[in-house]
Structure 1
């Protein structure tokens, strides 16, 4: 209990709120050409140094660590950090971070990663903690905003990896021949043929209203339809719901075409495209309540039992993921290339043999990584409070690391404090 008693004393005897304010001002002060502003920054720096010195003197054995904790974390964050260290007995040695609606949120941050979040990520980097950005976005999009926000030197340091398109590829600059790994290239011909067929037809054969209302995201492998309306709007919701139904039918037809010529394909040999689309709707509605809800809401449910889907067709469906992101995207991806596969590949390139990660995310694809971490004693999970129901259930059921939209810094500051406290016993 000694460490808890020391923390109680730290936050009871010192004005840590004032110290954090000085630290934030010093760290986030924008470069300006103003003598008055620069004098203000200098005064804040001196006050910060003096406050840290007082803490160092008051805690001779742990003063440096406590000064950093006090200047970074609130009382609640610091005690949560100590609770986590007491529970797990180790520091977090890699960050696994989703981007959209996790690091940034359209509701709170104008869809930009906040400056304080970017700054604390640089602090983790400087402390030697690798960062794995794990997203459904394209590689070029991710590279662009990472370099803009974190700087080219950090992104190309060799300690940053990008799992893009929800696990179809991994990009880890500075690792020679392992810098870019195209995981989808290892899929067998049957699955790749299905994706090629869907991608070639998804826009050219779409109904006119859908072609006007959607665009195809520039993925290397996944097929993702995005709205030509503001994400989250009523128009975006309507067009993505329509896109989901259309893509299910198209997927059914592509799978039928691939397996129907097989002499052992059974009913698939004589089925027509409409029946194949109905099989896809029935199968994925049974697999995902959100998809079932969209089909019901649009009046597009089918009178088919998923058990009646021919085995050769169902066997392909079992390998393909259909994802629905309300008012944001409808996507077809490979279940063999989910974010877990991408994270494992990234950790291998980064040389992290015994990961203990912080996994932050909000969607079903992030939940798979969280469950992988929990099953392998490989980390802890955190999510914004608007995350999907299943994600929140997992996070609340483990360490309750739930944060407000756009405030990923809350959890990151907690983990930063955890890592500082863990160093006291190393």
Structure 2
């Protein structure tokens, strides 16, 4: 059994910094057709094993401690032990966002660091399935996965990709279940509203929005992104305007759809117009949206009621999200990362999941909240994540990592799993 005292002795008595340096060199040295380099690698590998052997012979749990010390810092090891003490079980599946989580435009040239990719492959080799969970298209993610993780891992049957924020799930090697289009389950009424919004979003946009932004997503995830640098004042102003525009566009589409369907008055007669009602609905649900509407002077006030049941029912199935100076988005509440991850678990046969969920955005937050509510996982977020995500990560297990350093959390969880193996 490993205790805090054991870890103190380990990290005080041995040069674990040098041990980790040898381990990283042995793990990450790229293939080079050079006898000199090979001999240097062999000497480093022999020295690594010599240092590990000293630890193996000094502790009852020496094999575990040698492995932990060769990859985890002192702080990571103590965090890992505390996590296992708190949760009492190992992580059995990884759920990983890509952009601004595994990779970060601000610190890693927008590439996933080699040490992060290696850590993921080590989890896979230990029998932990991997779910890549992203807003990107399937083709984009497949390309990075095959190039970064390797075709063998991608096609092993233990990897799934939840793409376009829950539109579909791709799990190579699972026959008829390999590719599942989750939007097939959407009601035709919701599909028609999204088709309307998607078809009008750029053609009817004001000139400044058409020039200053571009469209991402698919027909069930309409995302407006700035052409300016994300986080800049120009991007912030543009996305604030885009949010108001998308809310009004959605309001028009819902009202027209309900009127065409012969619904019992989409808006109650004599009450506030449908645009004001839609703004109020989403402002009540999201304080960030309300702040934007208040700043722009278009918040309708708390007395903006009068939606019919039919109108409210539709809005409750459609999500509007705001990411300051980054994006404004309309999506389906039925096509979320949570729905995609649940389906991925089913395909991969993860019957009793305890997941590490890593992400930075509100769509990732829903997965984090889901595993927290069901006692099915741990959440981790980068320091630059959205405020709500950071608050959740800090309020649960305090797993917040520096920009571009997702590997720190992966190494912490790997150590946690090592401690768990001692008690099985």
Alpha-carbon distance between aligned partners in 1 of 2:359 and 2:406, rounded to the nearest angstrom:
10
Match of 1:8 in 2: 8
Is 1:25 the equivalent of 2:30?
no
Deviations 1:201-259 (A, max 9, x none): 11222222222222221525311122223333333323222222111111001100111
Match of 1:226 in 2: 225
1:270 deviates by 7.2
CA shift in 2, pair 1:306/1:349, >3 Å: farther
Match of 1:208 in 2: 207
Asked if structure 2 preserves the Cα contact closer than 8 Å seen for 1:286 and 1:306, the reply is no
Match of 1:321 in 2: 319
Deviations 1:156-205 (A, max 9, x none): 21111111222221111111111111111101111111111111111222
1:271 deviates by 9.3
Is 1:156 the equivalent of 2:139?
no
Match of 2:278 in 1: 280
Tell me the matched-pair count: 424
CA shift in 2, pair 1:271/1:177, >3 Å: farther
Q: Describe how 1:214-293 pairs up with structure 2 within 5 A.
A: 214-219=213-218, 221-266=220-265, 268=267, 275-293=273-291
Alpha-carbon distance between aligned partners in 2 of 1:259 and 1:220, rounded to the nearest angstrom:
20
Bigger drift between 241-250 and 294-303 goes to 294-303
Match of 1:138 in 2: 137
Is 1:373 the equivalent of 2:371?
yes
When normalised by structure 1's length, the TM-score is 0.93
Q: Secondary structure at the match of 1:226?
A: strand
Asked if structure 1 preserves the Cα contact closer than 8 Å seen for 2:161 and 2:171, the reply is yes
Is 1:67 the equivalent of 2:71?
no
Alpha-carbon distance between aligned partners in 1 of 2:266 and 2:346, rounded to the nearest angstrom:
43
Alpha-carbon distance between aligned partners in 1 of 2:398 and 2:404, rounded to the nearest angstrom:
17
Match of 1:89 in 2: 88
Bigger drift between 416-425 and 348-357 goes to 416-425
CA shift in 2, pair 1:252/1:41, >3 Å: same
Deviations 1:6-54 (A, max 9, x none): 3222222211110001111122223344554444333222211211122
Q: Secondary structure at the match of 2:334?
A: helix
Alpha-carbon distance between aligned partners in 2 of 1:183 and 1:243, rounded to the nearest angstrom:
27
Match of 1:112 in 2: 111
1:313 deviates by 1.4
Asked if structure 1 preserves the Cα contact closer than 8 Å seen for 2:2 and 2:61, the reply is no
1:267 deviates by 5.3
Q: Secondary structure at the match of 1:250?
A: helix
1:278 deviates by 2.5
Match of 2:198 in 1: 199
Asked if structure 1 preserves the Cα contact closer than 8 Å seen for 2:117 and 2:148, the reply is yes
Match of 1:124 in 2: 123
Asked if structure 1 preserves the Cα contact closer than 8 Å seen for 2:56 and 2:63, the reply is yes
Match of 1:312 in 2: 310
Q: Secondary structure at the match of 2:161?
A: strand
